[in-house]
Amino acid sequence: MSGAPSWSEEAIDLVGSATKAPSSHNTQPWFFLIGEPYVDLLADTTRALPVNDPDGRELTISCGCALLNLVLAAADRGFHVENRLLPDPDESDWLSRVSITRDSAERVPEAELARFIDQRRTCRTRFEPRPVEGKAVDAMVEAAAAEGAWLRPLETDALRQRAVELVVEGDALQWGDPKWRRELAAWMHTRSEGDGLTVSPFTAPIAQMVVRNFDMGGGVASKDRELAENSPLLAVLGTDDDSPRSWLAAGQALQRVLLVGCSFGLRASYLNQPIQVGELRGQVGELAGGEGLPQILLRFGYAPNPLPPTPRRPLADVIEWS
């Protein structure tokens, strides 16, 4: 009997790598249809965030992150991969078909990034004060461009300070909106639920009640101000236009940037508030040079301690067989 894994086993394993991607509020808004020899990626719009993300922009970006993981993981296992990006206007949730064959044993150099899929985490703590090395910044800028997006570091104190003020304004506007707070509270889950923003089972009911009912924008904003001001690098990731196709590209670019950052020992987290709030988004765009659309505002730096992984849904819940 051969010890080689079957296609089904390989495909499940690849989907496992895909689902390690980051997602907005850890909603994991994806779904995988496995056929032979392909894996289709679909958006699971039942996991949308209608208040935080009314157009499904971040939902599609999250799916783009999962898509890049899938492609890299398949390339890393020696498969030939063709990533046919949709979305098809008639089937808008169907985002991509990734054909995976043994046609060529040639290993693409980018497959190396797959080994950082397990290491990447969102790191919400303060970073060490040392600057991010220039070659890491250049590599992340190239990574975004490789996926058809751009990453623009905020290089002057004035730009950084303006970004911090926009984050603070974004916090105030989001926390002042009871619908936004209710949606956030609904995604505060215990680890055993497999998704959402993790809270301890002992404090979950109180934490959810507080978030639902109280505007804590002031406290959150001062913490975000402190984190942002002390981050060695702030950068805007964006695209030239604002369509589902470019959101998907933004997701692939985001994940590639994060993995490349990881390869340099960098950690990252998000300051997306002023992009999520429609009236502030244009101002973030101006910080990034005024051309194109900002999709994600990131902070980068170094932090000493390893972080535990956040939970993921069981693979059986995100896979269907064609």
Ligand X SMILES: Cc1cc2nc3c(=O)[nH]c(=O)nc-3n(C[C@H](O)[C@H](O)[C@H](O)COP(=O)(O)O)c2cc1C
Report cis status (omega within 30 of 0) of the bond before 37. yes
Q: Are 48 and 56 spatial neighbours (Cβ–Cβ below 8 Å)?
A: yes
For residue 231, state whether it binds ligand X (rule: CB under 6 A). no
Which residues make beta-bridge pairs with 268?
122, 300
For residue 23, state whether it binds ligand X (rule: CB under 6 A). yes
- Rounded Cα–Cα distance for residues 261 and 298 (Å): 12
For residues 45-104, which are near ligand X according to CB under 6 A? 58, 61-62, 65
For residue 183, state whether it binds ligand X (rule: CB under 6 A). no
For residue 281, state whether it binds ligand X (rule: CB under 6 A). no
Alpha helices in 176-270 (DSSP H): 178-186, 204-213, 217-229, 244-263
Binder among 87, 174, 272, 299 for ligand X (CB under 6 A) = 272
Q: Are 23 and 309 spatial neighbours (Cβ–Cβ below 8 Å)?
A: no
- Rounded Cα–Cα distance for residues 254 and 65 (Å): 7
Q: Which is nearer to ligand X, 47 or 79 (CB)?
A: 47
Residue 97 beta carbon to ligand X: minimum distance, rounded to whole angstroms = 22
Residue 232 beta carbon to ligand X: minimum distance, rounded to whole angstroms = 18
Residue 168 beta carbon to ligand X: minimum distance, rounded to whole angstroms = 14
Q: Which is nearer to ligand X, 192 or 322 (CB)?
A: 192
Alpha helices in the chain (DSSP H): 7-18, 57-76, 134-146, 157-175, 178-186, 204-213, 217-229, 244-263, 273-276, 278-287
For residue 310, state whether it binds ligand X (rule: CB under 6 A). yes
For residue 26, state whether it binds ligand X (rule: CB under 6 A). yes
Contact residues: ligand X, CB under 6 A: 22-26, 58, 61-62, 65, 121-122, 124, 197, 269-270, 272, 310
